[in-house]
Structure formats: structure tokens, C-alpha cells
Amino acid sequence: MKKTTKNKRDHTRNKSKAAFARLLKKAQDGNDITENDLKDSEKARKGLVGPDELVYGDVLSMFKDEKIHHFSVPFEAEWQLVFFEQECWIDYIISEDSDLVALGAEIVLVDVKFGKDDKTKPSFKLFSRQELLASASSGSVPLSNYESQVPELAAFLGCDYIGRLSGYGPANVVGSKTVPCPIMVRYNAAPDKREFLENKVERNAKTKSPDKANEIDGWADLFPKVVNLFHYCPVFKLTGDKISLLDSNSYTVSLEPLKPLTESSDTWGPRIGFDSQPDEKIGIPITEYKDAFNCQKMLRFDGNPPTPCLAPCYKKNENPKVSTGTPLPHFARLDFQAWRPVSLQPTEVK
């Protein structure tokens, strides 16, 4: 889970707790509870709702029953979702911004709003890669000239595992609808792209603190691994008869490349940033990944334990054919019978 997402949820939970405390004090003081108080308490109750291990277990069991074996990722979900769409496993992606278009996605929905009643209809904004390239084809420097390089550079500028350039992100690569981002033009023209990126990092590093210096200095060396991580995204594969997160002996977990390599599979670990195969990474045995899957710990390239980000994947020809790219707790609360994103009608198209 991204830190900003966690902070937002914690803020909502704290507000709900405070609202309940005020309501309880009002009742203890002998004051009447009004209809508005009841409405406020209902809002507060929703803010405290969250899945536990039993909910996770139910979701995993459902995945197993539906023969969905690859469904979670130990890194940022965006690149995996692009791969899912490219392989036609999902029809489109719901995200909080349009970065995924720059990373190679064809259709991305943002600002999705669910209708609460007959007066407020569902809506979203749609970003289409095809329309973006078409609208930019008439510019002085057509973006379509750089179509093959866009995902690669976007992955580099948007990588969350190494220092990022100040003021840049995946969406910056595409620039405006008529003029590509200047860095895209210079990157395409550079005879040595790695040297170009190395110089760019030194001049415009977003992170300048001394403790991050080594991370920035090694950025260009990590670039090929970032690209390979995009092409050969790793996923958790769980196997077991009756999976329950309350019983770690009920399943086994392995970390595998979602897209098979053409050569020996022994090489894929180092290619995506591991020092060796995943079960040997910095001396951590594969059993430790169970802790990560249990939302207790997760490993990044530097070994620090951020909260994991999990991306659900649906089978082809199964509704809803969409992946949210959100952590599993949000996904676990979806109502599969009532929620049909494929039926939403856009009110704004970009």
C-alpha cells in the first residue's frame, strides 16, 4: 500500500473514532440523540469498516476456486496492470491518475464516482493511449515518433524504488496533447541513453539527502533492471488445498515471473533487481515472503519493509473485467454482484 493511501485511511479512521467519542459523550451527558447524530454515526461506522485476516482468507479461497493462481505483486502494481491489459487478461484499468497511459496502458479510467441514487449517476474520465497519440500527431514534434520509447522512459521517471527526478513522473513523458515533454525529445536523440539519464539524475535529483546519495549514484545501473521489472513483472503464486491466512501451513508461496523468459528461468531474479534468485535475496529465505503476503512485511531493493501493494487479477471473459491496482484490503470489500464497472457511462472523455 502506498504511504499516502495508508495515511488517508488512518486519517478517516481517526475521524470516525472521534465522531463516536463525541456521540457517546453527548449521550452520557443526557442530551437527546437527533436524526443528524444518527446519520453522522452511520458515516463514522463506514469509516471504521476494514477487512481482517478472515476476509483475506475468503478472497484467497475464492481465487483458488476460480483457478486464479497469480494475483498479487510485491512491488508497485502499475506495471503489472499494464501487462495484464496487454495480455487481454483485463479490459481496462482504474487508477488515480493517467500515469498508466504513459507506461503503455491502452485505456485508463480515473476519477471514478459511484452513483448513490437515481439523481447521482456513475461517472469517470477516460484516458485512451490511441487518442493521445492521434491528438499529438499534428504537433511540431509528433509524439507518435517516440511511441516505442515512451513506456521505457516513463518507467524510469516513475520508479519508486530509486530516487526520482524533481518535477518528473510517468505522465510528464507525454507532455501536452501537441508537444512531447522536452526530456522525451532529448532522450530519443541522445546517442548514449544511459549517460543521458545519469547526467539528468545528477542535476535534477529529487532526493538530495546524504543518506540517499548512493541510491542516486547507482540509478543508471538500475535502469536495465527497472525496464526488466516492467517486462517480466514478478507475482506471488500461492498453492494449497484450503488456504487460510490464519494458518501459514495451509499454503505455499513462491515468487515467479508472470511473463516467462525465453532463456533459463535462473536468470530472471537478477534481471529484475535481486542479487540472486528471490529465495536467496539478501539472505532472506522464501518462507519470509509469507510474512510479506500476510501484510506484515515486504522487501524492496534496499531491504526496507514498506507495506505491500497487492494487485488483483481477474480471468478473461469474467465480469467485472477490470483491475483496480489498489491494495487487497480495498479489493476485498468490493461487492462482485452489485459493482459492474463495465456498465458505467463516461461523462468526460479526455
Predicted TM-score (pTM) of the model is: 0.44
Three cell numbers, residue 44: 463514522
For residue range 231-257, list pLDDT tens digits in order.
555 555 556 677 555 566 776 655 556
pLDDT greater at residue 123 or residue 164: 123
pLDDT greater at residue 348 or residue 53: 53
For residue range 290-299, list pLDDT tens digits in order.
333 332 222 2
- pLDDT at position 215 is 43
For residue range 148-185, list pLDDT tens digits in order.
666 666 666 665 444 556 666 666 666 554 455 667 67
Peptide bond into 346 cis (omega under 30): no
Distance CA 41, CA 62 (A): 32
Distance CA 48, CA 68 (A): 30
Is residue 125 within 8 Å of residue 111, measured between CB atoms? yes
Distance CA 265, CA 232 (A): 11
Three cell numbers, residue 255: 515468487
- pLDDT at position 33 is 77
**Residue type, position 307, single letter:** T
DSSP conformation class of 97: S
Three cell numbers, residue 152: 521505457
What is the average pLDDT across 320-340? 29
Q: 159 vs 76, 325, 337, CA distance in Å?
A: 9, 16, 36
pLDDT greater at residue 278 or residue 58: 58
> Which backbone phi and psi does 203 adopt, to 5 degrees?
-90, -30
Q: Which residues are within 8 A (CB) of 161 and not within 5 positions of it... i.e. 6 or more apart? A: 75, 222, 226, 273, 300, 301, 302
- Number of CB atoms found within 10 A of residue 316's CB: 11
Query: Given a cut of 80, is residue 29 above it in pLDDT?
Result: yes
Is residue 278 within 8 Å of residue 269, measured between CB atoms? yes
Helices (H), ranges, the chain: 3-28, 35-48, 53-65, 78-86, 99-102, 129-136, 150-157, 182-189, 193-204, 213-217, 219-231, 268-271, 288-293, 328-332
- Number of CB atoms found within 10 A of residue 305's CB: 12
Radius of gyration of the chain (CA): 23
Distance CA 202, CA 181 (A): 19
The residue behind cell 493511449 is 129
- If phi > 0 it is left, if psi is from -120 to 50 it is alpha, else beta; for residue 162 that is beta
The residue behind cell 505491500 is 308
> Which backbone phi and psi does 342 adopt, to 5 degrees?
-65, -15
Is residue 250 within 8 Å of residue 241, measured between CB atoms? yes
Is residue 101 within 8 Å of residue 172, measured between CB atoms? no
